[in-house]
Amino acid sequence: MHTCVNGGYQQEYIFKILGEAIDRYPLDGVFFNMIGYHTYDYSGNYHGICQSDACRKRFRDWCGLELPVAENRDDEVFCKYQDFCQKTSDELFYRVKNFAKGKREGIAVCTYTDAGVDIIRNESNSAFDRPLPEWNYSASDNVRTAMCSWRNKAIGNVAINFPDYRCRHSSVSPYLTELRLVENMLNGGWLDYCVIGTLENQEDRLVFDNVRDVFGFHAENEKWLTNTKPVADICLINGGGNEYKGLFRILSENHILFDVISAKAMTGTETPKALEKYQLLVLPDIRNLSDAFCARLDAYVRGGGKILATGKTSTCDQLGNNLNAIRLKSAGVKASFRLQPHKRGTYFRIGSADKKLLRSSKLDALDIVYLDSDFLECEATGTTEGLLGYIPPAMFGPPERCYYTEVTDIPGLFYSKYGKGSAAFFPWKIGQHYEKRSHHGHSLLIMAALEGLLKLERSIVVETSPLVEVNRRVSGDGKFEWVGLVNQSGQNGTAFHKPIPVSDIVLKLRGEGEIKGVRLLRAGEELKFSTGKDGWVKCVVPKLERFEIVLYEHK
């Protein structure tokens, strides 16, 4: 059972125990499990918000209020309590860090937070109570978020061997564990694999060959895999949820190079790159924003940046209190809006004028996309253009009466020019639609908004299956760069099988320097390449099994 964050064990005895351990043993680091304010135990039993005397007193001293008893996101007191939990947990681990470093400067602190740690811990895991199918980008998500959000921190994202707490002695599919390890490696993280017990006493050993293979490759190619940094054209803000996951998948399946920054880190000063270093930011239903950070984002656009926002972005304050106003001025709409509740049988019409602005030939044969959620009925300001006409609930049965009679002028997409930059705003959860059903229309609209409206300039063009995940990293000393390819095929519903080989992948990229040679680290082959007058370097990867690294060495 977890202990109270504000009780004597975590506030006092943790330091006595930790001090004794550091004094008595030559520890390289310390790890803390199940940190923070938990309301569930390992068995899934709900215990509610801690109502201890210590928590009551500290919360009362902190804000003058009594502890909430229910987790209600519409309750202003609960919003304050969430902020209290975050800040008091962070404070504790800054104390832990200072204490441990005071005992021994070189000791590493590791746990499931960014506060006061050297190593951010995370997991790519499975659980029986979680909605299916598995999030196949779990490791890429975890590693990118940590490495792009905080400077001077490592990420230890562990591939968890077992399928659930209650089945710790069984293993997930060997190909799922393999995928998680490969995503760790090709996104710049280290390899981390966890079993219960020791390797020698495992009773499900089918995964071991896959694990040995990935670890062996890393050992042989370590000099190419360390001290690299990502090359990205855009930045996706991680606010969690299916809206984020859907947009992550759309970007990956269309081979867009993107970093991921945690919504928490976005407002801080520890990100490796400033927001201005990205040509475009994607805000997937990022609701909780302070007035100051809304102004910061508007200044980014005014200075030439570009934003794609979705859902109810900027409609809540930083604590999560609903303000019922869109405060991002660069979105090009009035602050007030009308919430159109979810109704089945609704659509957005893609008109001929919309298609001229969206500039995508793939929309030539697509005039309509379905809507299966609520959305914000907004009014454009200034020269903002509204696209996609809302179609109210239409007949969907019987079959001979399936038709609609009205296309309104209520937009489902806004395009705004703001200062030197621009913004595209979908006032509905288009990413959540894609994560749920993977409909081509929703993906095509996002890509048309990025490339047609916002004129995204790619630094790499990849001609291959959407099931190939692509990333790009360059060495710290500028002597080489590489493109990582992950074969995401093999997943069939809840099953993870051996991936199907992908052939003849065409890569074209703008080099970070003059290229003297291209080779495949996995296959051990030299590749022919050509450099055009426009500076693009082109090569063809003949075959991709699970993964490959295309190494470009600079002159």
Closest by CA to 479, choosing from 507, 513, 517, is: 513
Q: Where are the beta strands (DSSP E) in 419-479?
A: 421-426, 460-463, 468-475
Phi-psi category of residue 522: left, alpha or beta, with phi > 0 → left and psi -120 to 50 → alpha: alpha
pLDDT of residue 1 exceeding 80, the answer is no
Give tens-digit pLDDT for 178-200.
999 999 999 999 999 999 999 99
Q: Which CATH class is domain 460-554?
A: mainly beta
CA distance 203 to 161: 12
State mean pLDDT over 300-327. 97
Closest C-alpha to 65, from 76, 50, 54, 49: 76
pLDDT tens digits, 127-180 = 999 999 999 999 999 999 999 999 999 999 999 999 998 999 999 999 999 999
Give the integer Cα–Cα distance in Å for 253 and 241. Answer: 18
Q: Which amino acid is at 24?
A: R
- E strands, 137-240, are 154-160, 193-194, 228-230, 234-238
Residue type, 348: F
Tell me how long the chain is: 555
Q: Which is the CATH superfamily of the domain at 232-453?
A: Class I glutamine amidotransferase (GATase) domain (3.40.50.880)
pLDDT of residue 16: 97
pTM: 0.97
Angle at the Cα of 282 (from 320 to 506), degrees rounded to 5?
150
Tokens of 458: 């790619």
Of 283, 191, 193, 279, nearest in space to 236 by CA: 283
Tens of pLDDT along 472-482?
999 999 999 99
Side chain identity at 316, as an amino acid letter? Answer: C
pLDDT at position 513: 76
Q: Domain locations in the chain?
A: 1-117, 232-453, 460-554
Q: What integer pLDDT is reported at residue 180 of this predicted model?
A: 98
Q: Does the structure show a pLDDT above 60 at 540?
A: yes
Q: Can you read off the two tokens belonging to residue 331?
A: 């979105």
Residue 162 and residue 171: Cα distance in Å, rounded? Answer: 4
Q: State phi, psi for 2 to the nearest 5 degrees.
A: -75, 160
Question: What confidence score (pLDDT) does residue 113 get?
Answer: 95
Record the tokens describing residue 450, joined without a space: 């990025």
Report residue 498 as tokens. 């051996």
